Amino acid sequence: MPLDSSAKGLFPIAVTPFLPDGRVDESSVDGMCDFYIQAGADGLTILGIMGEAQKLEPEEALGIVARVCRRIPVPVIVGVSSPGFAAMRSLARNAMERGAAGVMIAPPPSLRTDDQIVGYYAQAVEAVGEDVPFVVQDYPLTLSVVMTPKVIRTIVQNHPSCVMLKHEDWPGLEKISTLRAFQAEGSLRPLSILTGNGGLFLDFEMERGADGAMTGYAFPEMLADVIRLSGAGRRDEAHDLFDAHLPLVRYEQQAGIGLAVRKYVLQKRGAIRHDAQRKPASALSAAAKAEIDYLLSRLARFDGRAAL
């Protein structure tokens, strides 16, 4: 089933499991897929920035795509961002053949002006093909490309295959409101908006009109629950759960070591066998691990899933 603009809920950003020697940990992939499904995932996004996609060789990337698509009963989105359109096309076409539901495309950091951004996505659509549904990744903090709501609208209106926004601007709450206002006034067609930033603002993002989350926090269950509670209008409960997790969400959100924190927790939870990253990698000190353990023990008082 191809991805479309009605997508909702939780699409975790999956990590890529590695063995301590740096090879892809094939045997962890299935278990990781099951973990995300059990956590309530409505879809899965692989080969994103936090998936260490840039460190993979093409055949490794495709191997992971194939394995995940075979295992998982929900839509799989594949990150295909690349410095060159040839590689982007190759990965996108091959991923769709192996069962992906859509692809995600981030702009290269060199883009500055509105026209450059709009033009880049036109070239990207030409490269991957108009038949491939795609997600625009809007992540200024890391990519240093700033897209206004109007630019996003132009991209969506220009390309029917644009079905989703991965919203990761910071601050970004007003952006969600502005895009939803565009739709209310009729100038923007339906668009799924899933939010990132490690979930740091998910509580209010849902209230502003997001359709769900696409991020990799090591307790995807919390993300799924907050989405559900918020959607059901149970505001205080959503915030209570969110706030209980916030100390850890915040800790995981540290630039530079965030992925190490995430993999450390995922390993403790049994989602992956090793917390190894492929080089270049960041590492956690003993003090950092102790801090995470302390945060988990505090969280466990509120959310039993953190009792590890």
Binding-site member from 208, 211, 221, 259 for a copy of itself (CB under 8 A) = 208
Q: What is the CA radius of gyration of the chain?
A: 18
Exposed/middle/buried for 187, CB within 10 Å: 0-12, 13-18, 19+? exposed
Q: What are the start-end ranges of the H helices in the chain?
A: 26-38, 58-71, 85-97, 114-128, 140-143, 149-158, 173-185, 202-208, 220-231, 235-252, 258-268, 286-300
Torsion, CA 173, CA 196, CA 142, CA 281, rounded to 10: 150
Q: Is 128 in the site for a copy of itself (CB under 8 A)?
A: no
**Is residue 103 a contact residue for a copy of itself (CB under 8 A)?**
no
- 130 and 124 Cβ atoms separated by less than 8 Å: no
Near a copy of itself by CB under 8 A: residue from 6, 27, 54, 187: 54
CA dist 8 and 37 (Å) reads 15
Binding of a copy of itself by 186 (CB under 8 A): no
Q: What's the min distance (Å) between Cβ of 166 and a copy of itself?
A: 18
204 binds a copy of itself (CB under 8 A): yes
Contacts of 295 (CB under 8 A, 6+ apart): 247, 248, 251
* Interface positions, 58-77, toward a copy of itself (CB under 8 A): 58
Cα 36 from Cα 32, distance rounded (Å): 6
Q: Residue 227 corresponds to which tokens in the numbers above? A: 């989405």
Q: Kindly indicate which of the ranges 39-47, 65-73, 79-87, 184-192 contains the residues binding a copy of itself, using the contact rule CB under 8 A.
A: 79-87
**Of 34, 97, 130, 243, the one binding a copy of itself by CB under 8 A:** 243
Q: Is 168 in the site for a copy of itself (CB under 8 A)?
A: no
Residue 21 interacts with a copy of itself (CB under 8 A): yes or no: no
Identify whether the C-beta of residue 94 lies closer than 8 Å to the C-beta of residue 117.
no
Nearer to a copy of itself, 1 or 255 (CB): 255
Task: Among 20, 84, 160, 270, indicate the residue that binds a copy of itself (CB under 8 A).
Answer: 84
Strand-pair category, 212-213 with 102-105: unpaired
Classify residue 288 by burial, with Cβ atoms within 10 Å: 0-12, 13-18, 19+. middle
Q: Does 171 bind a copy of itself (CB under 8 A)?
A: yes
Q: Is residue 1 a contact point for a copy of itself (CB under 8 A)? A: no
Structure-block tokens of residue 12: 């975790």
Count of positions on this chain that bind a copy of itself (CB under 8 A): 59
Residues from 254 through 273 that contact a copy of itself (CB under 8 A)? 254-257
- The correct pick among 1, 57, 233, 304 for binding a copy of itself (CB under 8 A) is 57
* CA angle (95, 277, 281) in 5-degree steps: 120
Residue pointed to by tokens 């890391």: 142
At closest approach, how far in Å is the CB of 288 from a copy of itself?
Answer: 7
Q: With binding defined as CB under 8 A, does residue 127 bind a copy of itself? A: yes
Q: Which is nearer to a copy of itself, 28 or 277 (CB)?
A: 277
- How far apart are alpha carbons 114 and 118 in whole angstroms? 6
Among 71, 87, 268, 273, binds a copy of itself (CB under 8 A): 87
Per CB under 8 A, residues contacting a copy of itself are: 22, 52, 54-58, 83-87, 90, 108-109, 112-116, 120, 123, 127, 140, 146-148, 150-151, 170-171, 173-174, 177, 200-201, 203-204, 207-208, 236, 239, 242-243, 246-247, 250, 254-257, 278-280, 285, 287-288, 291, 298
